[in-house]
Amino acid sequence: MEVRKILVLRLSAVGDVIRTLPAIKALKERCPSSQITWVVEEPSKDFLESQPEVDDVVLFPRKRWTQGIRSPRAWWRTAKEMSQWVKELRRRQFDVALDFHGILKSGVLSFLSGAPRRIGFDWRSSKEGSSLFSNVKVALPKEGTTRYQRGFYLLKGVGFDVPYTNGSLSIPHRDREYVDSFFKQLPAPPSRPLIAIHPGTSLNYPSKRWMPDRYVQLADRLTREIQGTVVFTWGPGELPLVEEIRKAMMAPSILAPPTQSLTQLGEVFKRCNLYIGGDTGPTLIASMMGVPVLIIYGPTDPFLYEPVGKHTNVMKEVGCNPCRKRSCKEMTCLEKITVENVLEAARNLLAGGAPYGHHST
């Protein structure tokens, strides 16, 4: 089968967009002359446009359309815009559509694209009936797969049995220069090891966030006992949390510069010897930059959501985790994780002793 024009559907959740990217990079290596178009929602648009394997990014403005359809005044205008958007998508004449998302809206978009070959997961591995819109259905192994591995299994529907690879992020030159200028203006080069700590998590998932006072103790001990330098990274809405932690510390630390893109954040991580954080997008970015990663897991399934590359995690099994609660009054799974637990895992990872995917409970 000749594959010239490929439509990729992985619409939302920045973390899952990142997890899909290695499969797309592998696909581009197999089909270097193909044109890959990715339909995505607003949060990941700029990030995908920075990756050379993605030839075109089409914005799916779900939030704006949802508001328009609900408004009596804007309903007709929104309906016309949606119709025109679909026409433009069909005009591209895709040979194949790959539905990595596996939900109703991605299934419908796959069908509306007009691609003669529409590849998606079977009904066991998808949701909301999205498999009804695929004419090539891919089954996942019964023993389970990680979010990264799911993407590589879907490529089998194109006829490619591509070996699973970690992938890596491409950093634009302007982002490297931006981070370079930040480190050059520091009063003195930071002592090694340089350890990035990202204490924030999605505002929608406070149940994944380890306690600020423990990050204070951890950063102080890393500085004092390992003689390293801690650099705190942060994203939208997370600066107050980081400032609270730094203010409570005894040891000095570095506040990372404001990063306008995930690739700028990735370039900061690239300069580090270790990354520590929770189940969040920056953790995935750090892992794809080749930095050893230590994840503090609470309610997250460590197998399903594990990152790529060299990583370890600290997790306490308390009987109710993993779970999918966005908030939790007890947060026992995170309360049980001590500073000593994380410090020991960090020492081991810095010494090169932690294997890939090691789980500490």
Per-block mean pLDDT, blocks of 10 residues, the chain (361 long): 87 92 93 95 94 97 94 94 97 97 97 97 95 95 89 89 81 96 94 96 87 97 96 95 97 96 96 96 94 95 89 92 85 95 95 61 53
Q: Where are the domains of the chain?
A: 5-158, 173-360
Same fold, 5-158 and 173-360: yes
Query: Strands 96-99 and 117-121, how do they pair?
Result: parallel
Half-sphere exposure of 129 (CA within 13 A, CB side): 3
The per-residue pLDDT for 167 is 77
Strands lying side by side in the sheet with 35-40: 56-59, 35-40, 5-9, 96-99, 117-121, 136-138
In words, the CATH class of domain 5-158 is alpha beta
CATH label, 173-360, candidates 3.30.70.100, 3.40.50.2000, 3.40.50.300, 2.170.190.11: 3.40.50.2000
Residues in the chain: 361
The per-residue pLDDT for 3 is 81
- Where does the chain show beta strands of DSSP type E? 5-9, 35-40, 56-59, 96-99, 117-121, 136-138, 194-198, 229-232, 254-255, 274-277, 293-296, 311-314, 358-360
Q: Please report, for residues 12, 39, 102, 125, 286, the alpha-carbon distance to residue 45 in angstroms, rounded to integers and kept in the order given.
A: 10, 9, 19, 26, 19
Neighbours of 73 (CB within 10 A): 8
CA 340 from centre of chain:
27
The per-residue pLDDT for 356 is 52
Do residues 1 and 159 lie in contact, with contact meaning Cβ atoms separated by under 8 Å? yes
The per-residue pLDDT for 197 is 98
Do residues 220 and 178 lie in contact, with contact meaning Cβ atoms separated by under 8 Å? no
Residue with tokens 């270097």, as numbered in its chain: 32
The per-residue pLDDT for 359 is 52
The per-residue pLDDT for 79 is 95
